[in-house]
Amino acid sequence: MPNVSQPLCHMTLINRFAQVIFNSFWTFFMRHLWLGLLAFNLAACASAPAPNIIRISELQPLPINAQTDVLPLRVAVAAVISPKGTAESYRPLLDYLSAQLERPVELVQRRTYAEINDLLESGEVDVAFVCTSAYIVGHAEFDMTLLAAPQVNGESNYHSLLIVPAASAAQTLADLRGQTFAFTDPMSNSGRVYPSYLVKQLGSTPETFFARTFYTYSHDEAIRAVAEGLADGAAVDSLVYQFALQRDPALAQQVRVIHASPPFGIPPVVVSPNVRPQLLVELQNLLLNLDESAEGQMALQAMGVERFVLIEDSAYDSARELIEQARQLP
């Protein structure tokens, strides 16, 4: 039989020799690879910039960002008086509210009462000074909410005054038939609803009774239109009329009153239904306590108001009745 043990022994020796050679090579390779990586890291660390050292004594406060995320309080004022007069009269109040609330306050003005109502309904305005009819419409249509009401001469009501030029021979509304008449706003209780009601009681309509009518979109502009002879008559808010005479006593020589309406609930301060209850209460408290500080008293004086008081919705029932009666008349 052939001897196979000798070749097998030779193969074993060869395998072992190969394994020793491989292990030695692998050890050599890994050792040099490790040394190479170590040298690379040391070189990288040597070339890297020194780390920043934070010293507490050298820390500076962060700069104050001029931009603020606080949304402004948007306050609208219906055009009872002209835009210029509104800005002058209401700016002290807006500044006071801004300081107390610690947030910006933005004045919003529009030409018509209806536009202010639209802004309140959509939530684009938070607070507004509106006319009586605008409140009645807004309360019925989208829950416009009473906040407070101004008090003047101890009362929170007003009248619609029918005025004519001082030299006019007119003594009643009937004497203005065929003349030019100035309305204030399509939604105004004192400036359009009431005089239209009187015209209907005479069996006519404004379109047929007067030769011409036009809108001034503010009560002080209606007074000025009569004073300057642009209109033969107008109906205006009694509070605005009194305030206008105080600012310009010469008007008393240019216009005169020939008729005064029964009292109506005074034009109120209202809030949008979108205003948070907490803000409503805060605003209400600020207005009600406005007369207790020097700054607040200055704001009241600028508006021609004694103070702000709470008012009930029932205070506007007489105006609601007038609107309904005017609708029923032919």
| pLDDT tens, residue by residue, 159-193 | 999 999 999 999 999 999 999 999 999 999 999 99
Which stretch of DSSP H or E encloses residue 21?
helix 5-47
The CB-side HSE value for 154 (13 A sphere, CA atoms) comes to 0
Q: Report how far residue 198's alpha carbon sits from residue 211's, in angstroms, rounded to the nearest whole number.
A: 16
| pLDDT tens, residue by residue, 73-85 | 999 998 887 777 7
Please, what is the average pLDDT of the chain? 85
Enter the pTM of the model: 0.76
Angle at 16 between CA 10 and CA 18, to 5 degrees: 100
State residue 328's pLDDT score. Answer: 87
Joined together, the tokens standing for residue 163 give 């005025």
| pLDDT tens, residue by residue, 257-278 | 999 999 999 999 999 999 999 9
Contact 105, 126 (CB under 8 A): no
Residue type, 227: A
Instruction: Residue 325: name the closest of 260, 261, 232 by CA.
Output: 261
Angle at 54 between CA 53 and CA 59, to 5 degrees: 145
State residue 24's pLDDT score. Answer: 52
Long-range contact set of residues 173-179: C-beta below 8 Å, sequence gap at least 24? 173/198, 173/199, 173/202, 173/233, 173/258, 173/259, 174/202, 176/209, 176/210, 176/232, 176/233, 177/204, 177/209, 177/210, 178/210, 178/211, 179/210, 179/211, 179/232, 179/233
Report phi then psi at 253, rounded to 5: -95, -5
Ordered DSSP codes for 68-129: --PPPEEEEE-TTS-HHHHHHHHHHHHHHHHHHHTS-EEEE--SSHHHHHHHHHHTS-SEEE
**pLDDT tops 80 at residue 16:** no
The percentage of residues in the chain with a pLDDT greater than 90, rounded to a whole number, is 72
Q: Which domains does the chain have, with CATH numbers?
A: 73-156+266-314 (3.40.190.10), 157-265 (3.40.190.10)
Cα dist from 92 to 87, 247, 290, 309, whole Å: 9, 17, 12, 19
Joined together, the tokens standing for residue 157 give 């009501």
